[in-house]
């Protein structure tokens, strides 16, 4: 039996929690230390969604502008994007990234991380259709991200 496989590019500004998100999914633990992604990190997440196993190849792309040189190459053949932002920070950089990604003809799921730091975040500031709030620290909402992605990709 083959497993359906999707390439997901995880993008966002530096320090929004992209790598912590994938680490939490793989280990079910919050990663306390910070180390920037240099270029891209690849992780495989397999989830049972709707009775079927789905493989998500996660391309965790660097948020620091100094390490983004090859990002256009990383984006090739992506089935979807997760655009992550920190709900406790200004949205200027998120808006730039979202605008760039929205030009691509693929599904986008906007993920607001660190919702535990700002539980009353005003979601009306985010002008997109598909969005969700999570907390990598408390591990809240992480699996819902992949359920939503599967729906968007179908």
- pLDDT tens-digit series, residues 99-146: 999 999 999 999 999 999 999 999 999 989 899 999 999 999 998 999
Instruction: Give 21-54 pLDDT, tens digit per residue.
Output: 999 988 888 777 777 676 788 999 999 998 899 9
Q: Where do the domains of the chain lie?
A: 4-153
Q: Which residues neighbour 148 within 8 Å (Cβ) at sequence distance 6 or greater?
A: 109, 130, 132
Domain 4-153 belongs to what architecture? 3-Layer(aba) Sandwich (3.40)
Q: Structure pTM?
A: 0.92
SS3 at position 47: strand
């Amino acid at each position: 039996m083959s497993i359906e496989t999707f390439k997901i590019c995880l993008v966002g500004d530096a320090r929004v929690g992209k790598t912590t998100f994938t680490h939490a999914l793989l280990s079910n633990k919050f990663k306390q230390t910070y180390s920037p992604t240099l270029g891209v990190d690849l992780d495989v997440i397999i989830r049972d969604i709707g009775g079927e196993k789905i493989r998500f190849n996660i391309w965790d792309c660097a948020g620091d502008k100094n390490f983004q040189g090859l990002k256009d190459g990383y984006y090739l053949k992506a089935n979807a994007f997760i655009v992550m932002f920190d709900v406790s920070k200004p949205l200027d950089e998120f808006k730039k990234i979202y605008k760039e990604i929205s030009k691509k003809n693929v599904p986008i799921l906007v993920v607001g991380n660190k919702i535990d730091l700002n539980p009353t975040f005003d979601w009306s500031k985010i002008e997109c259709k598909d969005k969700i709030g999570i907390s990598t620290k408390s591990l809240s909402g992480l699996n819902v991200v992949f359920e939503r992605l599967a729906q968007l990709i179908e």
